[in-house]
Structure 1
Amino acid sequence: MLALARKAEDPAGWGSLLRQVANAIRSDNTLSRFLESPRIAADAKSAVLSKALGDRVPRLFLRFLQQLVKNRRQMLIPTIANEYDTLLDASEGIVHATVTVARATGEEETAMIGERLSKVVGKKVVPHVSVDPSIIGGVVVRIGDTVMDGSVRRKLAKLRRRMGTGRA
């Protein structure tokens, strides 16, 4: 699908369309049940998709969705949307980081965290911030399998071990 979107010179737009379809499937029980029902023929589902999306999406995008329906893979659209986003980000040098902080941050602080991480990683980093007061202070960053723990909690535990209390 990414190759088709690149051919159409709109990979971000296709990603947005795919995300919208995936969100509709997740949020609308009627649509979800309609698409997953084995009692409704694939041709009928394709016709409904064509009528609903035909003039709103590129023809190749619609044909991709219809092919998923034909192959009985339509319920994988949310998963495909996630993977598409991952592939698109990877191709554009964007990585996502889970950033844990002790207190809530504002937009300015979040942007600063993203900029600093981008310098360290060498790619554009999109931070996803969560709050966990138990880290006391500092920050814990997870990018893929890599964890950078700069929390006060870890530093205190390290100090305890060095002082010989043995409690971590």
Structure 2
Amino acid sequence: MAGDITTIARPYAEAVFARAKESGQVDAWSEALELLAAVTSDTQLVAQIGNPTVPRESIRDLILEVCGDALPGEAVNLVKLLAENSRLEAVAEIARLFEERRVADQGVRQVLVRTAFEVDAAQKDALAQALSKRLGGQVDLEIETDSTLIGGIEIRAGDLVIDDSVRSKIKQLAHALQF
């Protein structure tokens, strides 16, 4: 299901990002989408969005009323379009994809680093410098500690995966021993 919502949201996020860049309103759109994602993620509203007996226009009007004047005109138009196309459930994913695109456009790569042990500030800085050099741009590191790796490190930057964990090496060895 998560892949489905991303497939639905991506064209909207790309179109909104293109419009935001064209109009010089990237930050305003970012704030508007963050607000819309927060509003449409409310558990009671999620239930209404998913309820086929509730008219889309009612949900649209409720969202616009809750957001009030905080939404620019084009964001209001987006809400209307999403309601018309029964795509309001994709708002949070549109916001996430927009932010991903905004960060990438600024030349910053999001990098998830999973390690078996805590990483101190000096190690984080050294890792950031090495990855910045390897990836050819600024990186924003998110560090997670995962003891199931046993030792080593796993790095994910978009489609790039570097898995130098002990767990991975044990799996490779086990696979090699099967033949």
Name the TM tier (shorter chain).
0.7 to 0.9
Query: Residue 10 of structure 1 aligns with which residue?
Result: 25
Corresponding residue pairs, total: 158
User: Which structure has the larger Rg?
Assistant: 1
Distance 1:45 1:59, change over 3 A: same
- Give the conservation status (yes or no) of the 8 Å contact 2:148–2:167: no
1:8-157, aligned counterparts within 5 Å?
8-26=23-41, 28-106=42-120, 109-151=123-165, 153=166
Which one has a larger percent helix, Structure 1 or Structure 2?
A: 2
Distance 1:43 1:81, change over 3 A: same
Displacement after TM superposition at 1:104 (Å)? 2.1
* Gaps in structure 2 of 5+ consecutive residues: 1-15
Distance 1:30 1:156, change over 3 A: closer
Distance 1:100 1:61, change over 3 A: same
Distance 1:134 1:31, change over 3 A: closer
Displacement after TM superposition at 1:35 (Å)? 2.5
Distance 1:54 1:102, change over 3 A: same
Aligned-partner Cα distance in 1 for 2:123–2:132: 14
Aligned-partner Cα distance in 1 for 2:77–2:168: 55
The C-alpha deviation readout for 1:92-132, integer Å capped at 9, x for no partner, is 22222221112123556445433331122102222221112
Indicate the larger mover: 97-106 or 133-142.
133-142
**Regions of 4+ moved over 3 Å:** 106-112, 134-138, 154-157
Displacement after TM superposition at 1:146 (Å)? 2.2
Root-mean-square deviation (CA), in Å? 2.8
Higher relative contact order (CA 8 A, sep 6+): 2
**Secondary structure at 1:83 match in 2:** helix
- Give the conservation status (yes or no) of the 8 Å contact 1:140–1:147: yes
Displacement after TM superposition at 1:33 (Å)? 1.7
Aligned-partner Cα distance in 1 for 2:146–2:19: 41
Aligned-partner Cα distance in 1 for 2:78–2:53: 22
* Gaps in structure 1 of 5+ consecutive residues: none
Aligned-partner Cα distance in 1 for 2:157–2:63: 37
The C-alpha deviation readout for 1:25-80, integer Å capped at 9, x for no partner, is 33x21111222332232222222222222311211112111210111110011221
The C-alpha deviation readout for 1:11-33, integer Å capped at 9, x for no partner, is 1342243133224433x211112
Q: TM-score, normalised by structure 2?
A: 0.71
